[in-house]
Structure 1
């Protein structure tokens, strides 16, 4: 199977020829690409949340912690844990203080550490709060908010599918999702967000 074939299958991404980057729609400012969560994938290095823009065949994996992965999975499935998790608590705090989450950004990639921001509307003012992208993405998924990734992060860390390779009837142990994602980031450089 192609290098990113298993990742694509896990995330339900049909690979096509990659078109030129489209202008970000609606909720994202110029210079940002709106993306959606395609899934949360276990790897030998930990969990990764995989983002994808609507009109591109590019995947953006971001390594995250176990707690954030669990929260994102529950939120993707529209399920709740029996007691509030951290992101449920944050949602409640924002709402009870008269705020409304409006969008999140993944603004930068410093070394191998992604930098994010959460935007909250409170009355007539918009508040921006520094955030780990993993927490911001969990909030975005739970509140159905735009996930805006800066063009520079998208270009630097996005993985574009090249020419499709023919399917092989036999799967190699190298084609497991863990091994495929391991090739993206050198484990020595990896950081959990």
Structure 2
């Protein structure tokens, strides 16, 4: 198992209306991009910022229910990736000491792990297949935007915009637009 941390959550440029959640391997520093829905992004962001909504969201309700009956979330694990779809489980610890493993969408597992402040992990295969290194020296060796994944292009665009290099940002945005048109 490889420990992960959440390092970024931003609007997805490749899938409008969705969000890009970037996880990072805490030791090897490989990054894993996940595209998640707006509701799940909001649930994760609210928990990360320790905001208290006026009424509980679904994840808050589930969190409170588990706590009230004495069940703790031991860990959330991204178990596999198949056809660019990620799969996860949550591991619950009952008051009797029994461990329950429940199938979950990664975004839901992550939203709960933030609320329970428990480890977020991935199987090594997941990190090996979908993780990538962000290293400026390595990036400079790529010859064209075609060598970048869509998630890498989105992350690169966000970095360039943050540096206020709008000319370069326009080139990356155009590369993203061309990729979208190709399907």
**TM class, shorter-length:** 0.7 to 0.9
Deviation at 1:39, TM superposition (A): 2.0
User: What residue is the counterpart of 1:142 in the other structure?
Assistant: 115
| Contact 1:43 1:179 survives alignment (8 Å) | no
Q: Would the alpha carbon gap of residues 169 and 40 (structure 1) be closer, same or farther in structure 2, given more than 3 Å must change?
A: closer
Q: Which residue among 88, 94, 98 is the counterpart of 1:116?
A: 88
- How far the C-alpha of 1:159 sits from its partner, in A, is 1.8
TM-score by length of 2: 0.74
Give the match for residue 5 of structure 2.
36
Of structures 1 and 2, the one with the larger relative CO (CA 8 A, separation 6+) is 1
SS in 1 for 2:44: helix
Question: Which blocks of at least 5 consecutive residues in structure 2 are unaligned?
Answer: 141-159
After the TM superposition, which of the residue ranges 56-65 and 131-140 deviates more from structure 2? 56-65
- Superposed CA RMSD: 2.9
2: CA distance, partners of 1:160 / 1:60: 9
Specify the alignment match of 1:79 in structure 2. Answer: 51
CA 1:99/1:33 → structure 2, altered by over 3 Å: closer, same or farther? same
Q: Is the radius of gyration larger for structure 1 or structure 2?
A: 2
Question: Do the aligned partners of 2:79 and 2:126 also contact (CA within 8 Å) in 1?
Answer: yes
Residues 100-133 of structure 1: per-residue CA shift (max 9 Å, x gap): 1111100011211111000110021011100000
> Which residue does the alignment assign to 2:35?
63
Contact between 2:78 and 2:89, CA under 8 Å: does it hold in 1? Answer: yes
Matched, 1:131 2:101: no
Q: Within 1, Cα distance between the matches of 2:182 and 2:9?
A: 18
Q: How far apart in 2 are the matches of 1:187 and 1:115?
A: 27
Which ranges in structure 1 are unaligned for 5 or more consecutive residues? 1-31, 189-193
User: Per the alignment, in what secondary structure is the counterpart of residue 55 of structure 2?
Assistant: coil
Preserved CA contact (<8 Å) 1:102 1:120: yes
- 8 Å CA contact 2:72, 2:116 repeated in 1: no
Shift of 1:58: 1.7
Give every structure 1 segment of 4 or more consecutive aligned residues whose post-TM-superposition deviation is greater than 4 Å. Answer: 185-188
